[in-house]
Amino acid sequence: MPLKVPAGLPALQAVCDEGVNVEAFDASASDVLRVALLNIMPTKETTEADFIRLLATSRHNIELTLVKLDTHKPKNASPEHMQRYYKGFGEICNEHFDGFIITGAPVEKMDYEQVTYWRELQGIFDWAKRNVRSTLYICWAAQAILYHRFDVPKYLLPAKMFGVFKHTLLQPELPLFKGFDSEFFVPHSRHTEIRREDVMRAEGVELLSESQVSGVYIMTERGTRDFYITGHSEYASGTLDGEYRRDLAKGLPIEIPCNYYRDDNPQQPPVNRWRSHAEKLFNNWLDFYVNAE
């Protein structure tokens, strides 16, 4: 797929080095989809690669704009990287986009109002409603938008939801799920949850997919093209492994990620059970919601 990213972005080269085919972007193409990524994950380049890897499987011409918050300076990314490759929200707030992705963030244990950039993020949520055709809210962003729009609370889990879990569809006829198997796998990595009963009580929210173990997965607001996704379908094969070993090195309480390593042995390599699902999810989103009038 032709994909345009900020010139020189290291994540693009990293994805190409994996063997992913990213075609040259045709600036004269008339069918370009403008997609923005608000990246509030701590590992910026890893997250950039995660989404580029998936967008590169699409048949569409995509122009990807990387967006940063104006009221927050990330601790784990160099100022040079953010200055060179990202636009502040204030720089793009007068533009319209076909698609918008808002990532998770490492602030899930905090009350929303305690997050330093909460007010700006609320403004972005409202802006997206007016200026974006279809938006994906990922992990903490899904929890945050459900709280902002529908007052759905989150709850601290007794132990981290960590691993790769089996999911099912409640509305398999939706275009978002074209080509999906009846059961499929999704990585999760979070310390909080939103509960099914609260989602079902929220007027206008529809539950589309869930897991018996990891709970609600994909939701939407009825009559919109917005999707709230609690898992990390975009994760690369080794991401959970990196998180597991990071927490072990810090002496934090962490269990082996469920259903992830071969034979559940962390000395064995991870088994990627979710890649085909992730590609279908993002391609269907682009085909039927971002591209559609």
Write out pLDDT tens, residues 101-137: 999 999 999 999 999 999 999 999 999 999 999 999 9
Which positions are catalytic?
139, 232, 234
Q: Are 227 and 275 in contact (CB under 8 A)?
A: no
Percent of residues, the chain, with pLDDT higher than 90: 88
Is the per-residue pLDDT at 28 higher than 70? Answer: no
d(C-alpha 55, C-alpha 12), whole Å? 11
The mean of the pLDDT values for the chain is 94
pLDDT given at position 72: 93
Is the per-residue pLDDT at 230 higher than 80? Answer: yes
pLDDT given at position 25: 63
pLDDT tens digits for range 58-78: 989 999 999 999 999 988 889
147/19: higher pLDDT: 147
User: Which pair of tokens denotes residue 187?
Assistant: 């990585």
pLDDT given at position 227: 98
Is the per-residue pLDDT at 179 higher than 70? Answer: yes
Residue 242: which residues within 8 A CB-CB, separation 6 or more? none
CB atoms within 10 A of CB 138: 25
Is the per-residue pLDDT at 46 higher than 70? Answer: yes
User: Which pair of tokens denotes residue 135?
Assistant: 């938006």
* H-helix segments, the chain: 10-17, 44-55, 79-85, 89-92, 118-131, 140-150, 196-201, 239-249, 275-285
Domain assignments of the chain as residue spans, ordered by start: 3-156+165-237+275-290
d(C-alpha 127, C-alpha 132), whole Å? 8
pLDDT given at position 76: 84
Q: Are 258 and 266 in contact (CB under 8 A)?
A: no
pLDDT given at position 31: 81
d(C-alpha 29, C-alpha 263), whole Å? 48
Q: What is the DSSP letter of 287?
A: I
Residue 163: which residues within 8 A CB-CB, separation 6 or more? 187, 188, 240, 257, 258, 259, 260
- Domain 3-156+165-237+275-290 homologous superfamily, CATH: Class I glutamine amidotransferase (GATase) domain (3.40.50.880)
**Residue 200 three-state SS:** helix
